[in-house]
Amino acid sequence: MKTEQSAPLWIYDTTLRDGAQREGISLSVDDKLTIAHQLDKLGIAFIEGGWPGANPKDKQFFQKLQASPLRQAEIVAFCSTRRPHTAVEEDPILQPILESGTRWVTVFGKSWDLHVKTGLKTTLDENLAMIADSVEYLRQQGRRIIYDAEHWFDGYQRNPTYALETVQAAIDAGAEWIVLCDTNGGSLPHEIAESMQAVLQLIADHPTRSARIGIHTHNDSGTAVANALTAVQWGAEMVQGTINGYGERCGNANLCTLIPNLQLKLGYHCVKSEQLTELTSSSRLISELVNLAPDEHAPFVGLSAFAHKGGIHVSAVQRDPQTYEHIDPDTVGNLRRIVISEQSGLSNVLEKAHHCGVALDKQNPVSRQLLQQLKQLEHDGYQFEAAEASFELLLRQALDQRPSLFELHGFDVHCYCGSLEARQQGGFSSTALATVKVVVGVQEILTAAEGNGPVSALDAALRKALVDVYPSIAKFQLTDYKVRILDGKRGTSAKTRVLVESTDGQNRWTTVGVSTNIIGASYQAVAEGIEYGLLRPCFKDSDECPIGIRAILNGQHF
C-alpha cells in the first residue's frame, strides 16, 4: 500500500460527459462552457468535455472553448476504440476527436470478455488489436492518451488473465495513463485493492514502457468514494469523478467529497488551498446550472454539513468548534450554521441572533421570550431551521426592529381549469386569477393578477400591488416551493406547512407559512419573502437599503 503523500494527485472531472448522463440533466453549450471555466477556477487538472462527433452539442463546445481557453486545466476529448475489423485511419469515430484540437484524449476500451463477445460481437484478439491500434494512431497524430479500462473490475474478477492483457495492449501502444473503471459500480474496497495490486505488478514486470494508474468509480453499491480512496492508497495517481456525484444510475464518485478527504484527511495535494475554498460555491453553482436542488446534507458542501441544532452541541461549538466539527468549514468555503428548532436551547437563539447581526445576551429578557415563542410556534407546525428569513423577522419583531412596510387586508383566488371537452381530450390546464388588498401607510391598494396556479397568481398580484412603492421588488423571484402535510389523518382539513425560497438574483432566503388553508399558508410565506427581501439590505447595513425603508427603520414617517 502507498504510504507517502508527497506527490500530487491529478483530479479528472467528467461532469460534462459522464455526469450529464444522469437522468434529468440536459446541459446547453453555454452551460457546459460555464461549468468548464468554474472547474478550471477550482483547480481541476483534467476536464473531460464530451465526445466530439457523438452529438452536435459536444462538437460545438470544443469549438467555442478554443475561442475561450481555460487558464490551467487540460480539456480532454473522449471516444471509444475503433470499431471491429475497421482500419483505424478510416474509422469516422476518431476523426472528430482530432478536429477537437485537444492535446489529451481519453480512449475507452473493453476489459471484460463478456462485453467483447456479447457487446462488440468480436473476438478477444480483435479487441486487443482495437485497443492497440486506437491508442497508437492517436499518439501518431500528436495526442497524449488516457486509457479508460471499462468494466475493469468485473472483467478482472471473471477473467483476470485477459483483463490484464487489455491493459498491457494499451501500455504497449503508448497510453500514459491507465484508468481502472468500476463501470457497474458493484465493487467493494477490498476488491479494488486486489485488482490494484495486480496492475501494479504488471507494470513493474514490464519496465520498458510504463504508465501511471487512475481510478474511475460509480456509486451503485454506495462505495464510489471509498473505492476511489482505497485505489489512491494503493498507488492510483489520477482520480476521476463528477461534481456532486452526478452520473448515470446512482452516479459517479463525488469529487466534492473526494477532494477534501484526499487533501485534508490523507495529506495529498489536489488543488491549492485557496482553490479548495471554492468547492462549496462550485457545487452550488453547478447544481443550479443542471437545475437540480443541491443536497443540503452532502458532506463538506451541503447547507447542513456544519449545522448545529441540539442545545448541548451549540454550547460546545461556541466554546470550541472541534467538539462537533471534523474540519473548519472555511477550508471548503462553507459556513457554520446554528439551527433554530423546538430542540433549541438558549445558546442556539443567542448564536443565531449573532449571525443575524444582533447582539443578544442571556440577561436580556427578549432572549428567553423569543425561545419560548419559537418552541410554541414549532409546536404549532412552523419550522425555522429551514426558514431562516422568517426567524430573523421574528427576532427583529421581538426587538421592535421590524417596521410595518405593508399590511395584508385579504385576498381572493379563482382557478380556471379549461373546458370539459379539453380535459376529456387530455388537454388539462389550469390558470388562476388572484385579487389582493394591501395597505401601505394610509394608501389602500387593490389589484389583481393571473398566474399558472393560485400561488403564482397571489405572488404576481402582491408584487403588482407593491412594486410602485418598493421598486426593488421587481428583482425578486420565487425559486422553490415546498408543501408538507403535518397531520395527514385529518384529510383535506389537515394543517399544512409551506416553505418558499426567494432570490434577488444574488442572495437567497426562505420563509415559512402554516395554516389549515394551503393557500393561506402560501400567502403568508410569499408575503414574508417579499418583506424580508425589502428589509434584508437594511438589516445588513447595505447601501442598497431604500431611503424610504431606512426612514421607517429610523422611526420617521414614510
Q: Is the residue at 168 inside a domain?
A: yes
242 shares its domain with 98: yes
Q: Is the residue at 5 inside a domain?
A: no
Q: Is the residue at 394 inside a domain?
A: no
Q: Is 452 a residue whose pLDDT tops 70?
A: yes
Q: What is the pLDDT of residues 144-157, one digit of tens each?
A: 999 999 999 999 99
Q: Is 396 a residue whose pLDDT tops 60?
A: yes
Q: What is the pLDDT of residues 457-512, one digit of tens each?
A: 999 999 999 999 999 999 998 888 888 787 766 666 678 888 898 988 888 898 99
Q: Is 243 a residue whose pLDDT tops 90?
A: yes
CATH number for the domain that contains residue 414: 3.30.160.270
183 shares its domain with 250: yes
Look at 3 and 107; give whichever has higher pLDDT: 107
274 shares its domain with 349: no
Q: Is the residue at 296 inside a domain?
A: no
Indicate the pLDDT class of residue 400, thresholds 50, 70 and 90. Answer: confident
Question: How many structural domains is the chain composed of?
Answer: 3
pLDDT of residue 418: 61
pLDDT of residue 423: 53
Q: What is the pLDDT of residues 122-135, one digit of tens each?
A: 999 999 999 999 99
Q: Is the residue at 337 inside a domain?
A: yes
Once rounded to an integer, what is the mean pLDDT over residues 527-534? Answer: 93
% of the chain exceeding 70 in pLDDT: 90
Question: Which of 201-205, 365-369, 417-421 has the lowest average pLDDT?
Answer: 417-421
Q: Is the residue at 399 inside a domain?
A: no
> Which residues are bridge partners to 150 per DSSP?
110
Q: Is 358 a residue whose pLDDT tops 90?
A: no
Indicate the pLDDT class of residue 558, thresholds 50, 70 and 90. Answer: very low
Q: Give the whole-angstrom CA distance, residue 124 versus residue 112.
A: 10
224 shares its domain with 106: yes
203 shares its domain with 331: no
Once rounded to an integer, what is the mean pLDDT over residues 517-521? Answer: 89
98 shares its domain with 202: yes
Q: Is 251 a residue whose pLDDT tops 50?
A: yes
Question: Which of 158-162, 192-196, 417-421 has the lowest average pLDDT?
Answer: 417-421
82 DSSP assignment: P
434 shares its domain with 356: no
Q: What is the pLDDT of residues 308-328, one digit of tens each?
A: 776 677 677 777 778 877 899
418 shares its domain with 343: no
Q: Is 557 a residue whose pLDDT tops 50?
A: no
Mean pLDDT, the chain, whole residue set: 88
Q: What is the pLDDT of residues 19-52, one digit of tens each?
A: 999 998 988 898 899 999 999 999 999 999 999 9
Q: Give the whole-angstrom CA distance, residue 511 versus residue 543.
A: 24
Whole-model pTM: value is 0.69
31 shares its domain with 124: yes
The alpha-carbon radius of gyration of the chain (Å, integer) is 29
% of the chain exceeding 90 in pLDDT: 56
Cα atoms found within 13 Å of the Cα of residue 442, Cβ hemisphere only: 2
Q: What is the pLDDT of residues 257-303, one digit of tens each?
A: 999 999 999 999 999 999 999 999 899 889 878 878 789 899 999 98
Give the residue numbers spanning the domain of 120. Answer: 10-289
**Helix (H), strand (E), coil (C) string for 173-237:** HCCCEEEEEECCCCCCHHHHHHHHHHHHHHHHHCCCCCCEEEEEEECCCCCHHHHHHHHHHCCCC
Q: Is 213 a residue whose pLDDT tops 90?
A: yes
CB contact at 8 A, 110 and 69:
no
361 shares its domain with 435: no
pLDDT of residue 426: 54
Q: Is 5 a residue whose pLDDT tops 60?
A: no
CATH number for the domain that contains residue 267: 3.20.20.70
327 shares its domain with 186: no
Choosing from 289, 322, 348, the residue where a domain stops is 289
Q: Is the residue at 208 inside a domain?
A: yes
98 shares its domain with 239: yes
Distance from the first to the final alpha carbon of the chain: 72
Q: Is the residue at 178 inside a domain?
A: yes
